């Protein structure tokens, strides 16, 4: 079955610098790749997603890139701010499916 | 609030107790989910309901029993739990039964089994 690996498990960056979180997936049929952000004491929240027919998608300071050949996708956060501190989860699925396969999460720490 | 409300926020129960977790959404969504979240592990899908009918029971032990009386409410009934069941239990909803609609999660119930 599908498997999603996420790295690193913890990432600490200086405020204002960029952060990159990487995920790899095993099922080449997967075509939908969301990213969720979980702040302390809250449930995960969808922040951006990408479908396999595009290679990159941007929304203000966040962007996601997809390399279908290598079966990996990445979350990029530029000009990091304290409110970016959270746990970030990647996931993969078929967009017609109801079950996401999740990564184990990356704890992002923004140092002042 | 995210639109999905879970109660209680925290629950401590003994292994012989019976308790229930409640989830409520007024987003007009047709699908609802129970997830288990343990530290440093991927989220584990437990149950899926679509239009109040159970679609998925992901090999979950029978000590967890879901109930969906209507499209706005979802319960998880707990009995004779084990300490390894201690975790954050998340409820989510989506417009329909497909991941690309995006999930709206509640804030979870932090369960501790003693």
- B1 has pLDDT over 80: no
CA B94 vs CA A35, A103, B104, B109, B112: distances in Å: 16, 20, 6, 19, 27
CB A51 to CB B55 under 8 A? no
Per-residue pLDDT tens over the stretch B31-89: 999 999 998 899 999 999 998 899 887 789 999 999 999 999 999 999 999 999 999 99
A32 contact B CB<8A: yes
DSSP state of A93: B
Q: Which residue of B has its CA nearest to A91?
A: B42
Mean pLDDT of the A88-105 span: 90
Per-residue pLDDT tens over the stretch B22-41: 999 999 999 999 999 998 89
Q: Are A103 and A91 in contact (CB under 8 A)?
A: yes
| Furthest-apart CA atoms within chain B: distance in Å | 40
DSSP state of A103: P
Which one of B21, B39, B42, B103 makes the best mutation probe of the A interface by having the most chain A beta carbons within 10 Å?
B42
Per-residue pLDDT tens over the stretch A43-84: 999 999 999 888 999 999 999 999 999 999 999 999 999 999
What residues 57-86 of chain A have any CB closer than 8 A to a CB of chain B? Answer: none
Which residues, 6+ apart, have CB-to-CB distance to B1 below 8 Å?
Answer: none
Pick B102's closest partner by Cβ from A46, A96, A97: A46
pLDDT at A96: 72
Strand-pair partners of A110: A13
DSSP state of B45: E
A42 contact B CB<8A: yes
Convert A17-56 to b/e letters by CB count within 10 Å (16 or more is b).
eebbbbbbbeeeebbbbbbbbbeeeebbbbbbbbebeeee
Pick B105's closest partner by Cβ from A41, A44, A51: A44
The dihedral region occupied by B107, where left means phi > 0, alpha psi between -120 and 50, and beta the remainder, is alpha
Chain B residues whose beta carbon lies within 8 Å of the beta carbon of residue A89: 42-43
Pairing label, strands B44-50, B31-37: antiparallel
Strand-pair partners of B103: none
Pick B40's closest partner by Cβ from A9, A45, A97: A9
End-to-end CA gap in chain A: 41
- B2 has pLDDT over 60: no
DSSP structure string for A11-49? EEEETTS-EEEEEEES-TT--EEEEEEE-TTS--EEEEE
Mean pLDDT of the A82-97 span: 91
Task: Name the percent of chain A lying above pLDDT 70.
Answer: 99
What residues 3-62 of chain B have any CB closer than 8 A to a CB of chain A? Answer: 4, 31, 40-43, 45, 48, 50, 55-56
Confidence of residue A21 (pLDDT cuts 50, 70, 90): very high
- A95 has pLDDT over 80: no
Size of interface A-B (CB pairs under 8 A): 68
Question: Cβ atoms within 10 A of the Cβ of B39, count?
Answer: 8
CA A20 vs CA A10, A64, A88, B44, B93: distances in Å: 11, 10, 11, 25, 29
């Amino acid at each position: 079955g599908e498997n999603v690996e996420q790295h690193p498990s913890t990432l600490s960056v200086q405020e204002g610098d960029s952060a990159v979180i990487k995920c790899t997936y095993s099922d080449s049929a997967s075509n939908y790749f969301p990213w969720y952000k979980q702040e302390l004491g809250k449930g995960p929240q969808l922040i951006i997603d990408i479908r396999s027919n595009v290679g990159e998608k941007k929304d203000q300071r966040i962007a996601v890139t997809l390399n279908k050949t290598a079966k990996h996708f990445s979350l990029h956060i530029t000009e990091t701010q304290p409110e970016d501190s959270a746990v970030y989860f990647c996931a993969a699925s078929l967009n017609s499916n109801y079950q996401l396969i999740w990564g184990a999460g990356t704890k992002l720490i923004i140092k002042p | 609030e995210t639109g999905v409300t879970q109660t209680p926020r925290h629950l401590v129960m003994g292994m012989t107790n019976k308790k229930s977790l409640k989830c409520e959404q007024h987003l007009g969504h047709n699908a609802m989910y129970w997830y288990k979240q343990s530290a440093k592990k991927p989220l584990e899908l437990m149950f899926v309901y679509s239009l109040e009918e159970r679609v998925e029971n992901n090999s979950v032990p029978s000590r967890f029993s879901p109930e969906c009386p209507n499209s706005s409410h979802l319960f998880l009934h707990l009995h004779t739990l084990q300490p390894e069941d201690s975790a954050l239990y998340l409820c989510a909803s989506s417009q329909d039964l497909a991941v690309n609609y995006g999930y709206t999660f509640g804030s979870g119930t932090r369960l501790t089994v003693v």
